[in-house]
Structure 1
Amino acid sequence: MKTSTQDTRQHILDIGYQLIAARGFVSVGLSELLKHAEVPKGSFYHYFKSKEQFGEALIEDYFDEYQQRLQILFGNPAQSGLKRLMTYWQGWMTSQADSCSSQKCLVVKLSAEVADLSEPMRVALLKGTQVVQGAISGCITAGIEDKSIKKLSADETAELLYNLWIGASLMAKLSKDDKGLKQAMDITILFLKP
């Protein structure tokens, strides 16, 4: 069965995500990526001009999929805005608390690593995080409207909470425990509840 070029490109991105999420961008060489993806070097260069362009595409793909998941979660009218947000933070906590052995969040994994290494990758990460913060802000607004969240600035609160959780995730990675994530959860609840 012949696969489409789009399938091959996506396959390279999917394998790259698994490797980079586990070990980082710099430590994963092109030959290792190609070996795991089982594609020749020419196929890689057909889709990506460089490893940096691959990294940028990987980040954009990650955020496209992440945004789809947020739309499903935050678009659930059967739950209050607070319930949707707390489900999101609980999922974040669960994914990051696994002693960070399989880091699933590319933002946590790559921000410090690529911010000074690649301007296109830094910009892709920044744009992606702004989209996530916008979705969080929208859910906060929904919670304010349904009175499950106290009145506050949705945009500023989304930015503050996102920064809190990114910081807690980084500390969980360093300390190899979930104490900071639990503190972030407690602060989030106190901050949002009316």
Structure 2
Amino acid sequence: MMEKPFDNTREHLLATGESIMLGKGFAAVGLAEILGSAGVPKGSFYHYFDSKEGYGVALLERFFATYLSGLDAIVADASLNGRAKLDAYFAGWDRVAEHGSCESRCLVVKLTGEVSDLSEAMRTQLERGIAGIMERLAACIVIGRADRSIPPGRPAEQLAAALYQLWLGAALVAKVQHSRSPFQAARQSSDALLAPVIH
């Protein structure tokens, strides 16, 4: 017997909501729309989530679990030196930009400005997830300095934060401009941050 694609109702609700919220945001989407699209009764929703806010937290937890798993694979890839690991991460942003708006593919880009003022629980989840991203970028920098593909310089944690903020900022500006040029600028700035310092 073939297994249904969404045998897990909780996962089905999260996948459905993510698809809708990537287009409309959090506040503009009501539970009725999510439940209608998912074909799930209201009682089932409250079996898994205590509120829409709790659902939003779970949505972000799910997103970051997948995102960080992808980053962990890059960090663990022994075929890549530290700089190549960062380049692989940057290439992920480039691929998203090639296929359209980042906000239509990334919950961080879509929801950060909106929910940070609406929900402390969701803001905390965003903060935790972003910290996880920067920790992994810092790990790539430490590896790169050990294998000499990245020159010494500012502390790895500071450099990782600067790089992530560059790319997240580029995604937000690209959203306004409907242009890929902010990503090109982010790549150039990243290369400059990772270049050897010439005295």
TM-score (norm 2): 0.91
Judging changes above 3 Å, is the alpha-carbon distance between structure 1 residues 124 and 137 closer, same or farther for their aligned structure 2 residues? same
Kindly provide the amino acid, as one letter, of the partner of residue 114 in structure 1: V
* Counterpart residue number, 1:135: 136
* Counterpart residue number, 1:79: 80
SS of residue matched to 1:49: coil
Structure 1 residues not aligned, in runs of 5+ = none
The size of the alignment, in residue pairs, is 193
Q: 1:180 aligns with which of 176, 179, 182?
A: 182
SS of residue matched to 1:145: helix
User: CA deviation digits over 1:113-151, x for unaligned, max 9?
Assistant: 001100000000000000110011001111111111111
* Counterpart residue number, 1:92: 93
Using the alignment, how far apart are the partners of 1:68 and 1:33 within structure 2?
26
Using the alignment, how far apart are the partners of 1:112 and 1:44 within structure 2?
26
Using the alignment, how far apart are the partners of 2:105 and 2:71 within structure 1?
15
TM-score (norm 1): 0.94
Task: Give the CA deviation at 1:193.
Answer: 3.3
* Counterpart residue number, 2:125: 124
Using the alignment, how far apart are the partners of 1:98 and 1:168 within structure 2?
16
Identity %: 39
Using the alignment, how far apart are the partners of 2:44 and 2:29 within structure 1?
18
Are residues 1:56 and 2:57 paired?
A: yes
Kindly provide the amino acid, as one letter, of the partner of residue 42 in structure 1: G
Are residues 1:170 and 2:172 paired?
A: yes
SS of residue matched to 2:118: coil
The root-mean-square deviation of aligned C-alpha atoms, in Å, is 1.8
* Counterpart residue number, 2:148: 147
Using the alignment, how far apart are the partners of 1:134 and 1:101 within structure 2?
22
Structure 2 residues not aligned, in runs of 5+ = none
8 Å Cα contact 2:170-2:182 kept in structure 1: yes
